[in-house]
Structure 1
C-alpha cells in the first residue's frame, strides 16, 4: 500500500500543531497581540505610543522618576524610554530636570497637561485591564504570573544552567 503524499495544507496544519506547544513562539505571539491591541486602544483615546502611555502612567502613579527607575518598573530597555522623553517634552507631557540624588540622571516629571492626557487615556486602558481581570480568576492570574516568573528566570539564566548539551561558541 502506498502512502498518500500530504498536501501543503496538511503539512502546515501539522507544523502549527507542533508550534502550539512552543512556549518561546507562543509568548512572543501573545506579546505582539497585546501590543497591537494596546496600540489600537491608545489610538482611540488619542495619539500616545505604548512607551509614552507607560511613562505617563508611571509618573502619575509614582511621581517624578528617572529613566532608569521607569525602565526597572516597566521591565524594559532604558534606551526605549530615553528615546521617548524628548518627544514627550516637546508635546508638553513631561519636564526634565537634573536629579538632586544623582546629578548624572535626569528626573522626569508629569506636567499638568501630561496629567490631563494620562487621565483621559487611563479610562480606556483601565477598561482593558478590567476586561482582562474578568478573563482570569484571582487564582488563575496568580498561577499565570508564577509561570511567567519561572519562564523569565529560565530565559535570563546563563545558558550553561539550562542546557545539558554543549553549545558551540
Structure 2
C-alpha cells in the first residue's frame, strides 16, 4: 500500500507532526476495521471498554478526559455497550446523580480478545524498530505531547485575559 500523497510533500521538520497525524489516521482506520469485524465494536466503544477494564469504574466525564473526546461520542458508545451487555452502570457513592460505568464479565472477555489482537497488530507494524528505537521514538512523542499541552495551557490561561488595544495614533 502506498503512503498518502501528502506524506512526501516538501516541508522539512514542519511535516513531522503532519506525518504523525497521517499515521495516526491510518492506524485508527485499520484498527477500526479490525474492531468492527472481529469484535463488533467501534473505536469509541473500545475506548470506553478499555478504560473500564484497566482503571475500573469510571464516569463518562473521566473517559472523555482520558481520550480527549466529546461527550456525545462517549454517550453513544456507552449506549451501544449497554445494549450489548459489555458494560453496566452503577450509582456513584459520592454523587447521587452521577453514574459509574463498569465492565461486565462479557465485556472483560471482549477486552482480553481486543488486547491480544491489538498487541499482535502493534508488534507487526513496529517489527522493524529495535527496542532502543522504540524507546527513543516514545520519548520523542512524549516531548511533543508535553509541548502541545504547554501551549494549550498557555492559550487557556491567556484566553480570559483582556486583549490589548492598539492606539489610533
TM range (shorter): 0.7 to 0.9
CA distance in 2, matches of 1:47, 1:100: 32
Q: How far off is 1:19 after superposition? A: 8.2
Match of 2:75 among 61, 71, 82: 82
Task: Give the aligned CA root-mean-square deviation in angstroms.
Answer: 3.0
Aligned to 1:61: 54
For CA contacts below 8 A with separation 6 or more, give which structure has more relative contact order.
1
Normalised by the size of structure 1, how large is the TM-score? 0.72
Match of 2:21 among 20, 28, 53: 28
Normalised by the size of structure 2, how large is the TM-score? 0.72
Aligned to 1:143: 140
Correspondence 1:106 to 2:99 = yes
Q: Which moved more, 1:149-158 or 1:72-81?
A: 149-158
Structure 1 residue ranges, 4+ long, deviating more than 6 angstroms after superposition: none
Contact 1:19 1:25 in 2 (8 A): no
Aligned to 1:5: none
Q: How far off is 1:24 after superposition? A: 5.8
Structure 1: where are the runs of 5+ without partners? 1-11
Structure 2: where are the runs of 5+ without partners? 159-163, 165-169
Task: Give the structure with higher Rg (CA).
Answer: 1
Q: 1:127 to 1:160 in 2, by over 3 A?
A: same
Q: How far off is 1:98 after superposition? A: 2.1
Number of residue pairs matched by the alignment? 150
- Please give the per-residue CA displacement for 1:4-29, whole angstroms capped at 9, x wherever unaligned: xxxxxxxx99x922488345643432
Q: How far off is 1:44 after superposition? A: 4.4
